[in-house]
Amino acid sequence: MNQWKNFSKGFFKENAIFSLLLGMCPTLGVTSSAENGLGMGLATTFVLVMANLVVSVVKDFIPDKVRIPAFILIIATFVTIVEMIMQAYVPALFESLGLFIPLIVVNCLVLGRAEAFASKNNVFSSIIDGAGMGLGFAMALTMLGSIREILGSGKIFGITLYPEDYGMLVFVLAPGAFIALGYLIALINRLKKA
């Protein structure tokens, strides 16, 4: 039962974007559409789950002096796998996300979970934690991307809701990311207190 508590905390209590404010670079950079947010979120989720799995398996064999570099190497391996898979099977999304995919290696969320959780817990708990934190991150990126896409271009996942002429350009641009994220964080904090 405790593992499922770890799973759910990534969605609400310890959401990387709305509560911990981690991973802001991809959050603000790629969420111009719901599809980009979902793609980046799922890529990060895969890396989180696999890195947590491997770190929890090899934690006793890594000396303390090289612990962080070893974790980064493990994370970089899975980021490279994700990058190659995306390039082969979803090239349009790969092009859209661009430089942000390799930046998953230095995402504070991924390294933080490897250090704070996976290096101190068993394999199953680490997988559940990675999945919960990753899917919570994906949910937040998709929400932000959806809001920006609807307000900016009148679409969501390519489906037109209203003519693009009525969209607000600011939400497609970088300032729109800050505005939408600020309002989302305020709304979620308000809901947590209610």
- pLDDT values of the chain reduced to their tens digit, one per residue, 194 residues: 566 676 777 787 788 888 888 778 878 888 888 999 999 999 999 999 999 999 999 988 989 899 999 999 999 999 999 999 999 999 999 998 888 898 888 888 888 888 988 889 899 999 999 999 999 999 999 999 999 999 988 888 888 888 877 878 888 888 889 999 999 999 988 888 87
What pLDDT, on the 0 to 100 scale, is given for residue 64? 87
Q: For the chain, what is the largest distance between any 2 Cα atoms, rounded to a whole number of angstroms? A: 59
Q: Where exactly are the structural domains of the chain? A: 2-145
Exposure class string for 16-42: b at 16+ Cβ within 10 A, else e:
bbbbbebbeebbbbbbbbbbbbbbbbb
- Res 30: pLDDT: 87
Instruction: Write down the pLDDT at residue 71.
Output: 93
Predicted local distance difference test score (pLDDT) of residue 166: 83
What pLDDT does residue 3 have? Answer: 66
Q: Report whether 53 contacts 10 (CB < 8 A).
A: no
Give me the pLDDT at residue 51, please: 95
